[in-house]
Amino acid sequence: MQDLGVQASSRVLSSAEPLKTLRDVCQNFPFTARTLSKLKVDRELANEVNHNQNTLYGPGFSGLFLNGLALPIAENDFFGLLQTIQREMHTVDALATLEVPSKTISRLVSLPPPTASLRILWNHPSVVYLNDIEKDRKYAQFGSSLREMTRMNMWGQMSFCRRNVLNMVFVLDPTTPLGQALLSYMLSVFQNGAPVRFGLVLAPGASSASL
């Protein structure tokens, strides 16, 4: 009985009509359990389930996914689910119109959603760096070897080195109060002598400042 979940999953995956089989198994589970328990356990599927339980979701996890997109079970309703399915179908139809192969479409719609965090290429020409840890005399007291960062100092904290490994890039509009506050914060960190390379990206008209 301990493999009944894997056996039920195997039954659905091997079916010519997986959605219909899933419905039948869920609606008649007490009656189909005896039949399912006699199925040969797919060891590859069982190993994948164990791996997911031990590394990704944990035992007893319940979730709803659509093309890899996690849907909130507690808050989702039928109409919200229907709208999500319609959006996914619209995306698939648009890609199919462009004659994108079906396997490629499947991979594209299964990509994780984009993160809302801002990412900046460190060597982009729009980033202006104000100091250089490796060249400025201000940081001459720090060792140049990266191994320095693996050693703890006398307070049990990470040590620093004279390399440009710690970078703070500020995206701001210096004419706004928030942008000026960030500049003041950057100046205070710089005056403390921390071996951090500071970069600026000027964004006139930005509604907020970012670090």
| Torsion angles phi and psi, residue 165, rounded to 5 | -105, -25
Distance CA 45, CA 57 (A): 16
Residue bearing the bigger pLDDT, 119 or 33: 33
Q: Give residue 105's pLDDT.
A: 79
Most confident of 27-31, 75-79, 136-140, 202-206: 136-140
Closest CA to 92 of 103, 77, 76, 81: 103
Half-sphere exposure of 69 (CA within 13 A, CB side): 13
pLDDT of residue 198: 92
Mean pLDDT, the chain, rounded, equals 80
Q: Which residue has the higher pLDDT, 209 or 89?
A: 89
DSSP 125-193: TT-EE---TTT-GGGTTS-SSGGGGGSB-TTS-B---SSTT-EEEEEE-TTSHHHHHHHHHHHHHHHTT
**Pairing, β 69-71 against β 64-66:** antiparallel
- pLDDT score of 197: 92
- pLDDT band at residue 209, thresholds of 50, 70 and 90? very low
What does the alpha-carbon distance between residue 127 and residue 171 come to, in Å, rounded to a whole number? 9
The pTM is what? Answer: 0.43
Q: Say which range, 122-136, 155-169, 196-210, has the weakest mean pLDDT.
A: 196-210
pLDDT for 136 equals: 92
pLDDT for 211 equals: 46
User: Between these two residues, 143 and 56, which has the higher pLDDT value?
Assistant: 143
Task: Name the DSSP letter for residue 40.
Answer: P
pLDDT digits (tens, 9 = 90+) for 58-100: 777 777 777 777 777 776 677 777 888 888 888 888 878 877 7
In sequence order, what are the residues at sequence separation of 6 or more whose Cβ sits closer than 8 angstroms to the Cβ of residue 211? 168, 169, 170, 171, 182
Structure tokens at 8: 């039920």
Strand pairing of 128-129 and 167-172? unpaired
Q: What φ, ψ does residue 200 adopt, rounded to 5°?
A: -125, 140
Is residue 140 scored above 80 in pLDDT?
A: yes
**Statement: residue 210 has pLDDT above 60:** no
Average pLDDT over residues 171-191: 85
CA dist., res. 35 & res. 41, Å (int): 13
Q: Quick one: residue 181, left, alpha or beta (phi over 0 = left, psi -120 to 50 = alpha)?
A: alpha
Residue pLDDT, tens place only, 34-68: 888 888 888 888 888 888 777 767 777 777 777 77
Does position 206 have pLDDT exceeding 60, yes or no?
no
